[in-house]
A and B are shown apart, each in its own frame.
Chain A
Amino acid sequence: MTKSLYDSVVTPGPPLPASHPSPALLAKLHLEAAALCASAESLMRIPASRKNDMEVTESLLLFARDTAALHGALARKWLGAEKGAQDAHGMAVGFLGWAKRDLDALRDSGTRKGGKEEGRDERRDRRGHIAAEAEDVAQFLRYYKRMNDTVRALVVCRV
């Protein structure tokens, strides 16, 4: 068991333990993943506009779009965590609120549709994953909101 895993299991949520993988790196990974998915979706829409080609099935397009949205939201979550770790609590609250809105929208849209081929278990798994992430984001948001609302005295100069 690595130290970072141990720390995050024993004390989950903010503030992040020092051994946690850097939130900036996680945010970059998620941003890259979101960009890949978005470009994959637009690539898959190309055949529909050509005369001789068959269209790509709707469930694959939905998969790409949902994955892009999920990674975008997670990227905002880690950007918020990064800002919070740098003591920029206002920006952290902004990013985390944005991430939470996105995740909630994604969860609500997940209940409405979903590919026909996707089994019930898989749909439940995906929804559970989104709900767990939303809960995590809410925890971060509460913490940094409290920090942001608290008045703190800074020592400007020491005599």
Chain B
Amino acid sequence: MFSWRTTLSAHLFNNSPRLSLPALPSELIFTLLTYGFALFNLARLNVVALGTYERERGISDAERKTKDEKLGFAVTLFCKASGLFEHVTTTVLSGAEQTPGWQTGRSRPPELSNEVSLALSKCVVPSLSLIVSARGSLITAVAFLDGWIDLPLPRRNRSRSAN
């Protein structure tokens, strides 16, 4: 038995009830999701701490460069979080459904449903592109997005509009 609080479920008084869950995969899923939340929060804190430095006029080149690097670090954290949520959806959850005695006849917390973890991975991506387009450092953004996310734009189209 493993016991976790479901932070994502709607409950009276927002008290996130503590559930006892059988089976090892549920422990694995909750651990991975918690790691993902931690990564996302860390990335957000990083971005908020940087502020809107690119709109400031009196900022030295060296300072700007270090802040750019910090922003890049935050972007990799976002990418990690998104990839993690997707991994939970595609690999871990589908594997877990094949284990015997998986969540039969009990109320399932939202963390263990396929749709919610997929939705989480989708929620992370816009905050990534929000930073990116607000910052105007578009070239790095496109490079990052290339590796991680399938943008619906065909490749030649993208290079034309990125001029």
- A residues at B contact (CB < 8 Å): 1-2, 4-5, 8-10, 20-22, 24-26, 28-30, 32-34, 36-37, 39-41, 43-44, 46-47, 52-58, 60, 63-64, 67, 71, 74, 116-117, 125
Contact = CB atoms under 8 A, between A and B. Distances in A.
Interface of B: 6-11, 14, 48, 54-57, 61, 64, 105-110, 113, 115-116, 118-120, 122-123, 125-127, 129-130, 132-133, 136-138, 151-153, 158, 161-163
B138 A21 contact: yes
A36 B115 contact: no
Given A25-B161, A26-B133, A33-B130, A53 B123 contact: no
Contact of A53 (B107, B151, B161): B107
Contacts of B118: 40, 43
A57 B13 CA distance: 11
B130 A71 contact: yes
A25 B158 CA distance: 7
Contacts of B132: 29
Contacts of B125: 33, 36
A74 to B, nearest CB: 8
Contacts of B122: 36-37, 39-40, 43
